[in-house]
A and B are shown apart, each in its own frame.
Chain A
């Protein structure tokens, strides 16, 4: 994570929810950075804290949630130190976000054109007329047919894929430096998913923006990302460039995720699964958070939480196996994962 030129750097981010049951640490000391012009994939199962991380970057965490500590450095400035008004100038302008549910993320009572024009009007100080013209241009850019007519359409008149294109048009209207995409294709049909991913990739190249892509889908990561951060139970467990991650995964959780992908190059009887579930943030285990589901876990793992260790070449992993203190049997995480699981 020592990339020289990063657009955003998240350092020790802690976001908690304060409920009557006490503090729930949804994001607990997350570090990563997004290199300028590149795409970082933030991967994890539901409940791992990845969406909360993205909302924290936008400073859109709602009560009873609160960003408790850490820093988010964007263009050399700490976003957590900014006032609400300064944040508003950044949102939708320098950092934009697209969400998972295109069906519900657009306001049903305003036209698509109005909703695209709004962001442009707010940040660029243009007239309504100029902004609406911009909306037409944006609809054309995201590949919506007959944009002049569609600009007057209401969200319910568009299909899911078209709505997600409209969402992208809203997000990109002000030419942001960073796009935060929270599961942008999860709610869409598979064929539409591919179209939207290709669109995002193309626009990223054309506009030269950086992207933080939040997903649980490693297929999407392989297709889109340059770097990957794997998140588990509120912490980053592995960080690597996308090739290294797929060819040489270090953390048992990453290996488990990769093994649970269907593969067409080998004959598989059944898919591997990671047993159990992500622990609830209010019932975190004491040691390594993955230990209860890990086939290699020792007493050391169950008692003490490992640090995120640098393995060189930009790879980082949070696992005792890769440290000097490892006292279990010699393991090759990638090759031994399956046999360990089946015992």
Chain B
């Protein structure tokens, strides 16, 4: 297991190189000259050239990439073009807000999804199965910004005590529901089909033939096997969630990383976009690493190679 963890860690290195490369090139592929933007629209050619030099944009690309990575490793993501403030310092508090939002939403998705999926599978073709599957279909098809707006309109403003913007305390409720619903729906459907497949396996019949209580047959013998594909979905879903966080944070005016990216893009503040995207990508890589490890813990058949 230790060897596996180390090996899996080493495997993330090419991914990290890819991520930094893409983020770095982003700045050069986006139309518009960063030096021109930074120096201001009415700056003369000399000022632009000076700015270009100061930003290191005249160096060869590999050198620029090298210094970008070197700085990033040391936690220096540059300064905002607009405000001149340190990007890393700006990102840290927003990063934690987004992590909180994503983690709460994932917990909600997994919790709701598993319960709904298990009920559906064990009561296949019953009324509750049909209701759950129809609700899941809605949850899956609903764009989350729209769900957010509906929740603000019909729950936030009706109930009164749930804040409809910001973060912290009761204000987390609506954004977490907004962001977690699609995941819950996907996990519910995945759990259902996975459980249905597992329930008809021979070893489930063996468990029943041993005199195991039906509850344990489902939660001990079936669920652990059924979880294996579900865990993969949870990991992938986390990436979708980070994308959704951009919209959700915008709808609920949450000062998180997603909204920060949107602001950065609107203001063509490249260091902010670059830094935020890099951090989000690293988070995604980390989560998938954790998923792979837990996958191995669940399923002993996966060998180290």
Residue positions of A touching B, CB distance < 8 A: 58, 60, 84, 88-93, 96-97, 99, 101, 104-110, 118-119, 122-123, 154, 156, 167, 170
A154, B300: Cβ atoms closer than 8 Å: yes
Do A58 and B202 touch (CB < 8 A)? no
Whether A119 and B205, one on each chain, are in contact in the complex, defined by CB atoms closer than 8 angstroms, is no
Q: Is the CB of A99 within 8 A of B205?
A: yes
Q: Is the CB of A60 within 8 A of B299?
A: no
**Residue from the list B203, B211, B298 in contact with A123, Cβ < 8 A:** B211
Asked if A88 and B206 make an inter-chain contact with CB atoms under 8 angstroms apart, the answer reads: no
User: Do residues A108 and B203 form an inter-chain contact, with CB atoms below 8 A?
Assistant: yes
Of the candidates B209, B300, B301, the one whose C-beta lies within 8 Å of that of A97 is B209
Which 8 residue pairs across A and B have the least CB separation, nearest first? A92-B210, A92-B211, A91-B211, A104-B202, A107-B203, A119-B210, A97-B209, A105-B202
Q: How far is the CA of A89 from the CA of B221 in the complex (A)?
A: 18
- A89-B211, A104-B201, A107-B221 known; 7 other A-B pairs, CB under 8 Å? A92-B210, A99-B202, A99-B205, A105-B206, A108-B203, A110-B224, A122-B210
Contacts of A123 in B (CB 8 A): 211
With A90-B211, A97-B209, A123-B211 as contacts: A108 and B225 at CB distance below 8 Å? yes
Interface residues of B in 35-73 (CB under 8 A from A): none
Given A108-B225, A154-B300, CB of A122 within 8 Å of CB of B212: yes
Give the residue among B203, B211, B213 with the most A Cβ atoms within 10 A.
B211
- Bound together, the chains give a CA A92 to CA B201 distance in angstroms of 18
- Could you name 6 residue pairs across A and B whose Cβ atoms are closer than 8 Å? A88-B211, A105-B206, A108-B225, A108-B299, A110-B221, A119-B210
Q: Are B211 and A119 in contact (CB under 8 A)?
A: yes
Q: Within 8 Å CB of A110, what residues of B?
A: 221, 224
Could you give, for residues 187-219 of chain B, a 1 whenever the CB lies within 8 Å of some chain A CB and a 0 otherwise?
Answer: 000000000000001110111111111100000
Q: Given that A88-B213, A118-B210, A122-B211 are known contacts, is A154 also in contact with B301, CB under 8 Å in the complex?
A: yes
Report the separation of the CA atoms of residues A105 and B204 in the bound assembly, to the nearest whole angstrom: 8
Output the least CB separation between A110 and chain B (Å): 8
Residues of chain A with a CB closer than 8 A to B221's CB? 107, 110
Closest-CB distance, B62 to chain A (whole angstroms)? 48
User: Using Cβ atoms and an 8 Å threshold, which residues of chain A touch B298?
Assistant: 109
A331 CA to B212 CA, complexed, in Å: 53
Report Cα–Cα, A97/B208, bound state, in Å. 10
A167 to B211, CA, bound (A): 14
Nearest CB in chain A: distance from B296 CB, A: 12
In whole angstroms, how far apart are the Cα atoms of A122 and B210 in the complex? 9
| Docked-complex contact B212 and A118, CB < 8 angstroms | yes
Contact at A108–B206, with CB atoms within 8 Å? Answer: no
Q: How far is it, in angstroms, between the C-alpha of A204 and the C-alpha of B300 when the chains are bound?
A: 34
CA distance A99 to B224 in the complex (A): 22
Are B210 and A109 in contact, CB atoms less than 8 angstroms apart? no
Which residue of B has the minimal Cβ distance to A107?
B203
Whether the pair A60, B205 counts as a contact (CB closer than 8 A) is yes
Which residue on chain B has the smallest CB distance to residue A55? B205
Chain B residues in 8 Å Cβ range of A92 = 209-212
